[in-house]
Amino acid sequence: MLLEIRDIHVHYGKIAALKGVSVDVDEGEIVTLIGANGAGKSTTLKTISGLRPLSSGRIVFGGRNISKVAGHKRVLMGIGQAPEGRGIFPGMTVTENLFMGAYARKGNVEKDLKEVFDLFPRLAERKDQAGGTMSGGEQQMLAIGRALMTQPKVLLLDEPSMGLAPKLIQQIFSIIQEINRRGTTVLLVEQNAQQALQIAHRAYVLETGAVVKSAPAGELLDDPQVRAAYLGGGAESAI
């Protein structure tokens, strides 16, 4: 198992955001976390990347317990995150933003840059434009591109489709699939459950800080409870 999240509890002050979440991510998979607002999806990702401390439980990555490892070291170990809200550097160009993703590691940065530009031709077209002047969708691509520049073994994506036009949403999901095909494991958080389940291998449903269901993604697409709660209910929404 590449990533094992075992019974993690996470608090914001006295508020328990995660109450014993366990999630497994195997090498090569796309795993998705779905759930209502406030269910704890972002908190789960932030805890994996080391932005939130654990109250209890453990996170094991590549067989090593990383529960106490600092966030910047987790990036070097291969945990890449494109954060919710994008978080790019507005005053830097697209290319500079991408280089920032690679600055702490060794290896052939130019080759990775070429690969990111290959995945996102729009970023190549705009490579000298300031990050902050890119459109919302373009900034989202830039955030994903920058995370890829860290050469992650697992890529954590928090709502990559948020705020995008329908056509671009489709494109982002295809790109995530392509990233996975090229060998990167993906842990994906999405409000857009329908599309996330269509590209994922397995899925977990979170409710108020706990996992209430886990199954192959295809099964959840057909699950009446999941359909009613997260997929808009009607049978036609699966098409």
Ligand X SMILES: Nc1ncnc2c1ncn2[C@@H]1O[C@H](COP(=O)(O)OP(=O)(O)OP(=O)(O)O)[C@@H](O)[C@H]1O
Residues that bind ligand X (CB under 6 A): 12, 15, 17, 35, 37-43, 191
Q: Which positions from 155 through 214 interact with Mg ion, judged by CB under 5 A?
A: none
Kindly give the residue spans of alpha helices, DSSP state H, lying in the chain: 41-48, 71-77, 94-102, 109-119, 121-125, 136-149, 166-181, 193-199, 217-222, 224-230
Q: Closest Cα partner for 190 from 19, 44, 2, 20?
A: 44
CA distances 225 to 19, 136, 212, 222, 234, Å, are 22, 33, 11, 9, 11
CB of 112 to ligand X, least distance (A): 29
Report the alpha-carbon angle 142-159-117, nearest 5: 20
Q: Which is nearer to ligand X, 93 or 191 (CB)?
A: 191
Is 49 one of the binding residues for Mg ion (CB under 5 A)? no
Q: Which is nearer to ligand X, 40 or 160 (CB)?
A: 40
Q: Are 109 and 184 in contact (CB under 8 A)?
A: no
| Interaction partner, residue 15 (ligand X, Mg ion, none; CB < 5-8 Å by kind) | ligand X
| Interaction partner, residue 183 (Mg ion, ligand X, none; CB < 5-8 Å by kind) | none
CB of 52 to Mg ion, least distance (A): 12
Q: Which is nearer to ligand X, 4 or 84 (CB)?
A: 84
Q: Which is nearer to ligand X, 43 or 180 (CB)?
A: 43
The window from 40-48, 53-61, 122-130, 204-212 that contacts Mg ion (CB under 5 A) reads: 40-48
Residue 54 φ/ψ, nearest 5 degrees: -85, 140
Contact set with Mg ion (CB under 5 A):
42
